């Protein structure tokens, strides 16, 4: 397995271009299966999760052409005939479960493995299945697979997501746009990823009312057409690099290709730490403060603080002058990075869904192990801020969600070497 060798203590100075969003790309790749012609999506990041999902589409018969040098994928769904997403592929990433909504929505039936994915925390798919049943889809569980069948037209109905869920909102949208006479999703997710999916579906010909709100009303259309669209920038990658620019003394980063509106109040929270944050159109500049102030946060569904940035924020707070805490109200068991940061010298411990942090802790190089995607990048951040050399093991987690991380950070001053294992 690959690992990183990181020499810490060097400031980050220069420009980093933000990649396309993985979390937005996967739903719209799935949506391409609903069309009657080819869909082309630009600004697709070169990530392991993208490669995996492309292979899932190929298994069902779609023609997928990923021009990696152009970050563009073209999907021709007209030859889809095998309506099953097998365990060997779905277990690698939970987003493959979007195949359920896409296949049953387009073809009236699907057999999809229950998902695998990150090691932390429960992410039950009950909401997805109950929502589809409320729509009129017949759902059966058999030997680890979900078998879904739907008539040509479903009456539809109403379903309230408790709690709000991006994944369930996506799957219900995919399942309903070609099937349900009228289907209302209440407490729908409002994340930019969901908004982009809705806008893409509408461009394909779907009838969706309430985009960007917590109530989505979907009415059946007879067909959807393929489209040419550009994927949104990755707000989580952006937030991660903003944290890097804030926590490593002497750093002065310029981040390009951003959509600041997708960050919610994140820039303002970062300013409260003393970090200088300038937003100018699609460019964000971040300059580290002389003294980092502790700012406690609680994660929440969008537009609240993203759970996908809590590990990075907690890592930053280990370098703040004072005590703080980070509470995750979205996923209660997302703190596997804590004992690894302690190995680097952090003063922190977690109780239930809160991590308590005592700053400022001098970090010193050590060998640490990644356990999931966002935990992995938090270890990289800590290693870049630490004295001496660190070793971050199992960085394949990083490759699922950060495009060319070392190739983006090294030109601005980081000293990261990948050792292929």
Residues 180 and 283 occupy one common structural domain: no
Segment (H or E) for 351: strand 347-351
Tokens of 143: 């030997």
User: Which is catalytic among the residues 56, 93, 118, 147?
Assistant: 118
pLDDT for 111: 96
The number of beta carbons lying within 10 Å of the beta carbon of residue 61 is 15
Question: 92 near 50, Cβ under 8 Å?
Answer: no
Domain extent at residue 105: 22-230
Give the C-alpha separation, 260 to 39, whole Å: 27
Residues 225 and 259 occupy one common structural domain: no
Counts of helices then strands in the chain (DSSP H, E): 14, 24
Q: Check residue 117 and give left, alpha or beta (phi > 0: left; psi -120 to 50: alpha).
A: left
Give the C-alpha separation, 206 to 227, whole Å: 12
Sign of CA dihedral 306, 310, 313, 317: positive
| Integer Rg of the chain from CA | 21
In this predicted model, what pLDDT tens digit does every residue of 28-45 receive, in sequence order? 999 999 999 999 999 999
pLDDT for 381: 98
Residues 139 and 58 occupy one common structural domain: yes
In this predicted model, what pLDDT tens digit does every residue of 232-251 receive, in sequence order? 999 999 999 999 999 999 99
In this predicted model, what pLDDT tens digit does every residue of 344-354 receive, in sequence order? 999 999 999 99
Residues 205 and 271 occupy one common structural domain: no
- At CB < 8 A and 24+ separation, what contacts does 364-370 make? 364/388, 365/6, 365/8, 365/389, 365/390, 365/391, 366/390, 366/391, 367/343, 367/391, 367/393, 368/340, 368/341, 368/343, 368/344, 368/392, 368/393, 369/340, 369/393, 369/394, 370/394, 370/395, 370/397, 370/398
Domain boundary among 230, 264, 280: 230
- Give the count of domains, the chain: 2
In this predicted model, what pLDDT tens digit does every residue of 146-194 receive, in sequence order? 999 999 999 999 999 999 999 999 999 999 999 999 999 999 999 999 9
Residue 198 known to be catalytic: no
Domain boundary among 185, 214, 230: 230
Residues 301 and 386 occupy one common structural domain: yes
Residues 305 and 350 occupy one common structural domain: yes
pLDDT for 116: 54
Residues 188 and 149 occupy one common structural domain: yes
Give the CATH number for residue 72.
Answer: 3.65.10.10
Give the C-alpha separation, 408 to 347, whole Å: 29
Residues 77 and 32 occupy one common structural domain: yes
Give the C-alpha separation, 86 to 57, whole Å: 11
Residues 149 and 169 occupy one common structural domain: yes
Domain boundary among 230, 248, 269: 230
- In the chain, which residues have pLDDT < 50? 117-123
Residues 177 and 215 occupy one common structural domain: yes
Burial of 203-214, coded b for 16+ CB within 10 Å and e otherwise, reads ebbbebeebeeb
Residues 186 and 40 occupy one common structural domain: yes
Residues 168 and 275 occupy one common structural domain: no
CA nearest to 283, candidates 208, 233, 246: 233
């Amino acid at each position: 397995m690959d690992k990183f060798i990181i020499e810490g203590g060097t400031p980050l100075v220069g420009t980093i271009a933000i990649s396309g969003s993985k979390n937005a790309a996967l739903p719209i790749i799935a949506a391409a299966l609903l069309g009657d012609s080819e869909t082309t999506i630009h600004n697709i990041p070169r990530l392991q999760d993208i490669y995996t999902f492309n292979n899932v589409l190929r298994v069902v018969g779609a023609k997928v052409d990923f021009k990696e040098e152009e970050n563009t994928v073209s999907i021709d769904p007209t030859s889809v005939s095998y309506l099953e997403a097998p365990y060997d592929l779905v277990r690698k990433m939970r987003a493959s479960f979007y195949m359920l909504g896409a296949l049953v929505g387009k073809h009236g039936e699907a057999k999809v493995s229950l998902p695998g994915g990150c090691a932390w925390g429960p992410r039950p798919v009950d909401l997805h299945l109950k929502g589809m049943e409320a729509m009129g889809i017949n759902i059966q569980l058999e030997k680890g697979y979900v078998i879904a069948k739907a008539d040509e037209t479903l009456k539809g109905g109403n379903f309230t997501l408790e709690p709000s869920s991006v994944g369930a909102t996506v799957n219900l949208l995919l399942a309903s746009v070609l099937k349900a006479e009228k289907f209302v999703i209440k407490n729908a997710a409002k994340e930019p990823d969901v908004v982009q999916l809705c806008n893409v579906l509408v461009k394909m010909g779907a009838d969706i009312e309430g985009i960007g709100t917590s109530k989505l009303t979907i009415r059946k259309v007879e067909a959807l057409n393929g489209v040419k669209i550009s994927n949104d920038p990755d707000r989580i990658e952006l937030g991660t690099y903003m944290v890097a620019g804030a926590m490593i003394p002497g750093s002065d980063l310029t981040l390009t290709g951003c959509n600041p509106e997708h960050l919610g109040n994140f820039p303002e929270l970062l300013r409260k730490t003393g970090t200088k944050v300038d937003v100018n159109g699609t460019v964000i500049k971040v300059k580290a403060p002389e003294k980092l102030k502790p700012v406690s946060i609680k994660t929440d569904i969008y537009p609240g603080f993203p759970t996908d940035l809590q590990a990075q924020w907690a890592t930053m707070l280990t370098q703040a002058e004072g005590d703080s805490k980070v509470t995750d109200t979205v996923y209660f068991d997302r703190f596997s990075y804590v004992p690894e940061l302690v190995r680097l010298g952090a003063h922190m411990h977690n109780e239930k869904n809160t991590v308590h942090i005592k700053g400022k802790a001098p970090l010193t190089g050590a060998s640490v192990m990644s356990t999931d995607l966002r935990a992995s990048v938090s270890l990289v951040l800590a290693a870049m801020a630490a004295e001496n050399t660190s070793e971050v093991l199992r960085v394949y987690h990083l490759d699922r969600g950060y495009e060319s991380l070392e190739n983006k950070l090294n030109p601005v001053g980081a000293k990261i070497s990948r050792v292929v294992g």
